[in-house]
A and B are shown apart, each in its own frame.
Chain A
């Protein structure tokens, strides 16, 4: 039973210059206690998909097609007031830069308490206790003292822990994490991930993890969707997609990064570049948006967008000539 279902989601951006499609026909669902990774370069629509799920799209961007359902209830046409009850309660989100997403003029304890005041009936004393319990649960010692600290008094890792405590305050069904560790050191990243895994094991929260790091995907996620220029390029289980990527873009994303190799038999193969950059969305024609950067591209790729087709059970790819690997 999936907790969150995204069905044929389209997000359009309208401006005086015309309108462009930021997210084009994306579908996926996510089960409790599972982690779904959304992968792609910047400008591929990962964050827009996440913001659409939270109904926090920036001005000008709107959901034009598709349905998002949380435990069977549609979120797409929910009035803003009801959506506000859901955000921070059944669905919450953590962002990349914890410094800019915390309010600098309130203590971190106060900011966690705000979530509880909005979504629960706890009294003052109960809230104070709950805030300290939450701060302890994300691995911060001396919770009493830390809750009165302001964001600038804390390190990056500590701030991200506070963001997580805040996001988990009401035990959400779904946690969306948009590049939660990109701004942090690897040692702190490892701490944050082990924290997220522990919390998930305790609360069965479904996690949507947005990242560009295939190492993070392998470490954290069960399923993966790869997005390119707003469209779904490939999806499947992490194990299958990482070991047998079918889409040339997925393969490119795996091969373009010098992955750390440990031990004595290190292969010295060079990293393969994906030539060029993600095309501007307004220039995309009828064909596959990746065609201009793809080594396998041929005439039909320029002519029409390939449908999502099954490579093997629960592994799908949108490519005319994917290679069976």
Chain B
């Protein structure tokens, strides 16, 4: 998969320093800690995890909206982490972002047309040449031309998210980073936006990095999925393998916590994780998930597991994942049948 990768993230780290009163008790929080992945052109790559797991910070670091402390992000031949000033500004047309809350991400004083045209203006384009492009991009997101002159408050949440998407699309980027693009929308509207994202990808061959906490949505839209916990990736897998055969106990717990709409069809019983993720300030010395792991073993608290790569490109950070003669299993949680016994 490396040869056709559009976005490559290597060993990304983002640190925040937090200061106590009078500058005392300084400590450093690693919000993103050694994250590596790559996304093929035209694919959708999802990142899931609980709040505080570093999903959004990873996205912002890729967008160069927060500073990466370490690591390298490249988009095609461009090394984004090396760009500065004017070069970075020019490069931005290649990677755009859609935010979670369309009520706060659109300037209330600008008409829809101007909201969408703003990125073009940043690229020193005069307004005259824009008209045709704007009409085209409005049509692509399913808005009518006469709606271009309305203000954001005159639109519903779903329509506002369409405007945000049009703004991201107007520079014809290769990568769009979507940070929880449907979680602020009403259930019935979410489907409209998800199907729109899919259609746009099919028509324009754009690549998505898709951040979400909703596993149903991620399953619907993503080709590859990374599961993050406390700033690190604990498992990365193609959609089909992740949902049929989660290898990391955290992935398993996360999937089993989602309530199922059709009673009796759930593949396994819910494992209720105890407590909440520990603080990023005092990370455990062993496996970061050990404290909450339903199948924790003594050695988990001693040494952190490496993110080992399996033959199909899938990666898992658990001491107990074994690959033998073409089959892979977690010796603690086993296959699906064993999981049923376990819970």
Contact = CB atoms under 8 A, between A and B. Distances in A.
B254 interface: yes
B261 A214 contact: yes
Given A259-B262, A262-B266, A262-B267, A185 B51 contact: yes
Contacts of B243: 260-263, 266
B187 A215 contact: no
Contact of A216 (B253, B259, B276, B336): B259
Contacts of A239: 263
Contact of A218 (B50, B156, B263): B263
Interface in B215-243: 215-217, 219-221, 240, 243
A187 B52 CA distance: 13
Contacts of B200: none
Interface stretch (B6-14, B31-39, B190-198): B190-198
A242 B262 contact: yes
A258 B188 contact: no
Interface in B258-299: 258-263, 266-268, 270, 272-274, 276
B244 A263 contact: yes
B244 A264 contact: yes
Contacts of A213: 187, 259
Contact of B273 (A191, A193, A252, A274): A191
B60 interface: no
Contacts of B332: none
B195 A257 contact: no
Contact of A187 (B188, B253, B262, B266): B253
Contact of B195 (A185, A214, A242, A271): A271
Nearest to B273: A187
Contacts of B54: none
Interface string A231-264: 0000000110011000000001110111111111
Contacts of B192: 273, 275
A185 B261 contact: no
Contacts of A271: 191, 194-195, 220
Nearest to A213: B259
B187 A253 contact: yes
B189 interface: yes
Given A215-B258, A257-B187, A271-B194, A155 B220 contact: no
Given A155-B276, A273-B191, A274-B191, A258 B217 contact: yes
Contacts of A56: none
A273 B266 CA distance: 24
A252 B188 contact: yes
B191 A272 contact: yes
Contacts of B259: 189-190, 193, 213, 215-216, 218-220
Q: Interface residue tally of chain A, by bracket?
A: 35 or more
Contact of A257 (B213, B261, B267, B336): B261
B158 A258 contact: no
Contact of A263 (B156, B267, B270): B267
A243 B187 contact: no
Nearest to B258: A260
B110 interface: no
Given A242-B263, A262-B255, A262-B268, A188 B190 contact: no
A275 B253 CA distance: 35
A270 B272 CA distance: 30
A216 to B, nearest CB: 5
A261 B258 CA distance: 10
B7 to A, nearest CB: 24
B261 A242 contact: yes
Contact of B50 (A185, A243, A254, A263): A185
A157 B276 contact: yes
Given A42-B186, A186-B254, A274-B188, A259 B194 contact: no
Contacts of B274: 191
Given A256-B187, A257-B191, A188 B261 contact: no
Given A42-B186, A155-B276, A261-B243, A215 B191 contact: no
Contacts of B258: 186, 215, 260
Contacts of A188: 50, 276
B150 interface: no
A190 B272 contact: yes
A260 B191 contact: no
A277 interface: yes
B253 to A, nearest CB: 7
A266 B268 CA distance: 15
B343 to A, nearest CB: 12
A212 interface: yes
A277 B160 CA distance: 13
B186 A41 contact: yes
Nearest to A243: B262
B319 to A, nearest CB: 22
Interface of B: 50-51, 156, 158, 186-192, 194-195, 198, 213, 215-217, 219-221, 240, 243-245, 253-263, 266-268, 270, 272-274, 276, 336
List the 8 shortest-distance A-B pairs measured between CB atoms, nearest first.
A258-B220, A215-B259, A219-B259, A263-B267, A262-B267, A190-B257, A260-B216, A264-B244
9 contacts: A187-B272, A220-B259, A253-B188, A257-B191, A258-B191, A260-B258, A262-B256, A263-B244, A271-B191
Interface of A: 41-42, 155-158, 185-191, 193-194, 212-220, 238-239, 242-243, 252-254, 256-264, 266, 270-275, 277
Given A266-B243, A271-B195, 18 more contacts: A42-B186, A158-B276, A186-B213, A186-B257, A186-B258, A190-B259, A191-B272, A194-B272, A213-B187, A215-B261, A239-B263, A252-B188, A254-B261, A256-B188, A257-B187, A257-B261, A258-B221, A274-B191
